[in-house]
């Protein structure tokens, strides 16, 4: 197993005692290989252990947590657990893979998922206008002359439409960009909507345009990293995530994605460095 982690590494990253790491192993939660120096944990083992530690801080009992996490491992044969979010919601353990959320212990689907404890590369972010809330879409045609609606107002209209009428939101963002081609927020949000519909190249172009308009936007850099990663361009994704944390060193999800990609590319020191940053930031958030 190349690029493995020792018990002491895991304890430091998770902020727990080494004895507790060994106790979780003895519970049968995972089965890491051993050598003369002790256990050797994979990155996926770290993700599972971190979920177990955070769930233990909730009101759920240890037996329920153990049963749920064991079930989750059986439900994801051959898949990295870093691709799944695990957390507590309403007194139960809930897992989420993309848009699907379920209770591992029962296998039942659930309709909502809150406060995930493990971020993934799919953690896209949008931008909202400061100050007043978005005006209703009905205001737009009521102005009479289209030019009377400013790019900022088209942007706010798009924000108000995203959840229930995403196609109209895309049109509103496009209209804002026709009037103000370097509107960073419109590029960012339009890119995210296109990204969610699988139009990765178009999303990438809008994220890059958002960065050109606002070079310090950590959110645009992060979303660009996700788009590049979804296209299989890991090295370029790393560059984008590094730009995100350079703009905002407290961007925990960017540190997590960097740790995962560095682990995949074999750069263990960098993976550990960013995983430590993520672990520290997630405790203070």
pLDDT 10s digits, 29-57: 777 888 888 888 887 778 778 777 877 77
Per-position b or e across 61-92, b if 16+ CB within 10 A of its CB: eeebbbebbbbbbeebeeebbbbbbbbbbeeb
pLDDT (average), residues 141-159: 71
pLDDT (average), residues 109-132: 51
Q: Can you name the residues that pair with 100 across neighbouring β-strands?
A: 97
The answer to whether residue 132 scores a pLDDT higher than 50 is no
Confidence tier at 283 by pLDDT (50, 70, 90): low
Name the strand (E) or helix (H) holding 167: helix 166-179
Domain with CATH 1.10.1660 in the chain: 7-110
| Cα gap 69→263, rounded to integer Å | 23
Q: How far lies 75's CA from each of 179, 247, 264, in Å?
A: 50, 38, 23
Q: How far lies 200's CA from each of 171, 203, 214, 231, 254, in Å?
A: 18, 5, 21, 7, 19
The answer to whether residue 13 scores a pLDDT higher than 80 is no
* Angle separating helix axes 62-75 and 43-56, nearest 10 degrees: 150
| Cα gap 274→233, rounded to integer Å | 19
Tokens 């979920």 belong to residue? 51
Name the nearest CA neighbour of 38 among 6, 14, 15: 6
On average, the pLDDT of the chain sits at: 80
Domain with CATH 1.25.40.10 in the chain: 137-284
Q: What architecture is the 7-110 domain classified under in CATH?
A: Orthogonal Bundle (1.10)
- Residues 6+ positions from 208 with CB-CB distance below 8 Å: 224
- pLDDT at residue 272, rounded to an integer: 87
- Residues 6+ positions from 122 with CB-CB distance below 8 Å: 98, 226
Q: Can you name the residues that pair with 86 across neighbouring β-strands?
A: 95
Instruction: Say which residue, 184 or 139, is predicted with more confidence.
Output: 184
pLDDT (average), residues 234-258: 94
pLDDT cut 70: percent of the chain above it: 80
| Cα gap 245→258, rounded to integer Å | 10
Q: CB pairs under 8 A, 24+ apart, for 17-23?
A: 21/49
Confidence tier at 115 by pLDDT (50, 70, 90): very low
Using only the alpha carbons of the chain, give its radius of gyration. 21
pTM higher than the cut 0.85: no
Confidence tier at 129 by pLDDT (50, 70, 90): low
Q: What architecture is the 137-284 domain classified under in CATH?
A: Alpha Horseshoe (1.25)
């Amino acid at each position: 197993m190349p690029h493995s982690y020792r018990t002491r590494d895991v304890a430091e990253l998770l902020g727990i005692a080494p004895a507790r790491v060994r106790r979780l192993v003895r519970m049968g939660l995972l089965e890491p290989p051993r050598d003369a120096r002790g256990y050797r944990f994979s990155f996926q083992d770290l993700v599972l252990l971190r979920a177990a530690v955070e769930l233990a801080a909730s009101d759920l009992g240890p037996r329920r947590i153990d049963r749920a996490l064991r079930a989750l491992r059986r439900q994801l044969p051959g898949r990295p657990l870093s691709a799944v979010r695990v957390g507590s919601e309403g007194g139960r353990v809930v897992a989420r893979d993309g848009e699907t959320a379920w209770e591992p212990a029962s296998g039942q689907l659930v309709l909502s998922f809150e406060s995930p404890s493990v971020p993934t590369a799919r953690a896209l972010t949008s931008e909202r206008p400061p100050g007043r809330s978005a005006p209703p879409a009905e205001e737009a045609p009521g102005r009479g002359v289209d030019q009377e609606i400013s790019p900022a107002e088209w942007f706010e209209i798009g924000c108000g439409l995203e959840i229930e009428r995403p196609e109209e939101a895309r049109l509103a963002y496009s209209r804002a960009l026709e009037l103000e081609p370097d509107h960073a927020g419109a590029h960012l949000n339009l890119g995210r909507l296109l990204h969610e519909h699988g139009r990765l190249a178009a999303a990438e172009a809008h994220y890059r345009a958002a960065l050109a308009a606002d070079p310090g936007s950590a959110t645009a850099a992060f979303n660009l990293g996700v788009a590049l990663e979804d296209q299989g361009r890991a090295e370029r994704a790393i560059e984008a995530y590094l730009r995100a944390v350079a703009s905002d060193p407290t961007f925990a999800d960017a540190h997590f994605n960097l740790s995962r990609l560095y682990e995949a590319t074999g750069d263990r020191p960098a993976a550990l460095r960013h995983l430590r940053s993520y672990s520290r930031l997630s405790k203070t958030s």
